Amino acid sequence: MTRNKGRGVRVGRTVPAVIAAVALLAGCEGLDDPDSGSPAGGGGASAASAGHAVSPLDNPDGTEPGLAPVTSDADRDAAVAIITKVTTKGRGPKTGYDRDEFGYAWMDTADGVPLARNRCDTRNDLLQRDGQELRFRSGSDCVVVAMTLHDPYTGTTIEWRKQKAAEVQIDHVVPLSYSWQMGSSRWPEAKRKQLANDTLNLIPVQGRANSAKSDSGPASWLPPEKGIRCAYAVRFAQVAVKYEMPVTTADRRMMLEQCGG
Q: pLDDT (tens digit, 9 = 90+) per residue, 86-114? A: 999 999 999 999 999 999 999 999 999 99
Q: What is the pLDDT of residue 240?
A: 98
Q: pLDDT (tens digit, 9 = 90+) per residue, 144-174? A: 999 999 999 999 999 999 888 889 999 999 9
Q: How long, in residues, is the chain?
A: 261
Is the pLDDT at 17 greater than 70, yes or no? no
Task: Quote the pTM value.
Answer: 0.84
Please give the distance of CA 69 from its chain centroid, rounded to a whole number: 16
Give, to the nearest 10 degrees, the angle between helix 229-242 and helix 73-84: 30
Return the domain boundaries, the chain: 2-258
Go through 184-201 and write b for each residue having 16 or more CB atoms within 10 A of its CB, e for each that does not: bbebeeebbbbbbbbbbb
User: Average pLDDT for residues 44-68, to the nearest whole number?
Assistant: 80
Q: What is the pLDDT of residue 1?
A: 54
